[in-house]
A and B are shown apart, each in its own frame.
Chain A
Amino acid sequence: EPEVTQTPSHQVTQMGQEVILRCVPISNHLYFYWYRQILGQKVEFLVSFYNNEISEKSEIFDDQFSVERPDGSNFTLKIRSTKLEDSAMYFCASRAPDFGSYNEQFFGPGTRLTVL
C-alpha cells in the first residue's frame, strides 16, 4: 500500500542552524501539506502546496520557513535559522485530486526536530 515517507525520523540541530525536512508524498497525489505538533500539544497546520506554489499558510509559517518541490517526488520544509521553539514533530501529508468527493490527507510518520 502506498504511503508517505519522511526523512530523517529524528533531527537534532543547534539553534540558528538551517534544517531541511524531507518528505516523499504518495506518487499520484497533487496536494501537499506540512503540520507540526509541539510535544503535548495539538497538531497545527503550517502550509499547503499545490501546482508548485503555496496555496495557504498559517501565521506560524513566517519568513523562516519555506517549502519546495525540487523534483517530481520530494517535498521539503526548510527552516532557515532554527529557534528553540521550533522543536516539534513535523508531519508531511499528501492528498489525491478530488473527483466528486473530498479525499483525505495521508500523513507520514513524522520527523522529530530537536533544537538545542
Chain B
Amino acid sequence: AQSVTQLDSHVSVSEGTPVLLRCNYSSSYSPSLFWYVQHPNKGLQLLLKYTSAATLVKGINGFEAEFKKSETSFHLTKPSAHMSDAAEYFCVVSDLGNDMRFGAGTRLTVKP
C-alpha cells in the first residue's frame, strides 16, 4: 500500500527566503504524487501534481517539486516565501488512480 511521510510537522521561514517542505513516499507501483495546500478554515487546493511525465513539476503561486525515484522523494520548494503562503501543506500519493493517501501535513509559518 502507498504512504507518504512528511519529514517536518512545522517549518518557519522569513518572508523572501526559500521554502523547502520535505516529503518521502512509499509505493508498490509508479505513483502519482501531489501537493495540496489548506489555508485556515478553507478546503484543499491542488498546488501541483506529478503523473510520470517531467520529473520537475511547476505549480501555482511559484511552487515547484521534483520527483526523485532513487530517493523516493517529492520535496516542495519555492524560491521566495510570501506572507500569503502561510498554510498547511499536504503531500499526497496515489497508486493506480485509487484512493489518495495524505501525509500528516506541514504547517508553514512565514515571518515578516
- Residues of chain A touching chain B, judged by Cβ–Cβ distance below 8 Å, are 31, 33, 35, 41-45, 48, 55-56, 58, 91, 93, 95, 98, 101-102, 104-110
Contact = CB atoms under 8 A, between A and B. Distances in A.
Contacts, number: 52
Contact of A56 (B32, B45, B52, B99): B99
A43 B105 CA distance: 9
Interface of B: 32, 34, 36, 42-46, 49, 51-53, 90, 94, 97-105
A33 B101 CA distance: 12
A interface SS class:
strand
A45 B100 contact: yes
Given A42-B90, A42-B105, A104-B49, A48 B43 contact: no
Given A42-B102, A43-B90, A98 B97 contact: yes
